[in-house]
Chains A and B, each alone.
Chain A
Amino acid sequence: AQSVTQLDSHVSVSEGTPVLLRCNYSSSYSPSLFWYVQHPNKGLQLLLKYTSAATLVKGINGFEAEFKKSETSFHLTKPSAHMSDAAEYFCVVSDHTTGNQFYFGTGTSLTVIP
């Protein structure tokens, strides 16, 4: 069975400081992992994805994530937070045994303090 745990429901950082959003996954097979961002009253936008290529994945807007199989983790990082990064972030796991079904984490709300 697949599942995702986002370890923090809220994260608050000052503008210009690093961002770390934590995600642990459970999957019976080789998973695909994604991070999506959702701004208020908007749909979901893909930040980055891991699909069994390089374990360090670079995404849009300076975000990156590292797939660590031994720790079953896929944490999202950014060196320097910007005010526009304030949003809800979702970690997602999927594998081909369940068709195209995405399993979402509960989300992490990121606040950026000026």
Chain B
Amino acid sequence: KAGVTQTPRYLIKTRGQQVTLSCSPISGHRSVSWYQQTPGQGLQFLFEYFSETQRNKGNFPGRFSGRQFSNSRSEMNVSTLELGDSALYLCASSLIIQGDNEQFFGPGTRLTVL
């Protein structure tokens, strides 16, 4: 079974631009979560989608948004990029079995904002 895939793997943008990142979960997984990883703040939760609905959201500004499609694929969008948005963005998918919510992570998208 294929793992979680994320595209693109690397992105370079300039301040003020917007960016869209894509995540394809493991087949059959309906929950997709997004995390931001930076050296200063570590791994922080952005949001979770389940069956096309945002179930949970972290403490990020409204410039960060996401969505999930009927095939469970998910995208996240960051508008009006700032230098501080430079980070590794990780996507994770989960099967959501009662009592076990293990998340499977993709390789990440490395975003650099100049």
Contact = CB atoms under 8 A, between A and B. Distances in A.
B15 interface: no
A63 interface: no
Given A42-B107, A43-B108, A99-B56, A104 B102 contact: no
Interface of A: 32, 34, 36, 42-46, 49, 51-52, 90, 94, 96, 98-107
Contacts of A107: 42-43
Contact of B103 (A42, A96, A100): A100
Contacts, number: 61
B101 A43 contact: no
Interface in B34-85: 35, 42-45, 48, 50, 55-56, 58
A90 B100 contact: no
Given A43-B105, A46-B102, A49-B102, 20 more contacts: A34-B102, A43-B4, A43-B107, A44-B90, A46-B104, A52-B99, A94-B101, A100-B31, A100-B33, A100-B48, A100-B56, A100-B101, A101-B58, A102-B103, A103-B45, A104-B35, A104-B42, A104-B43, A104-B44, A107-B43
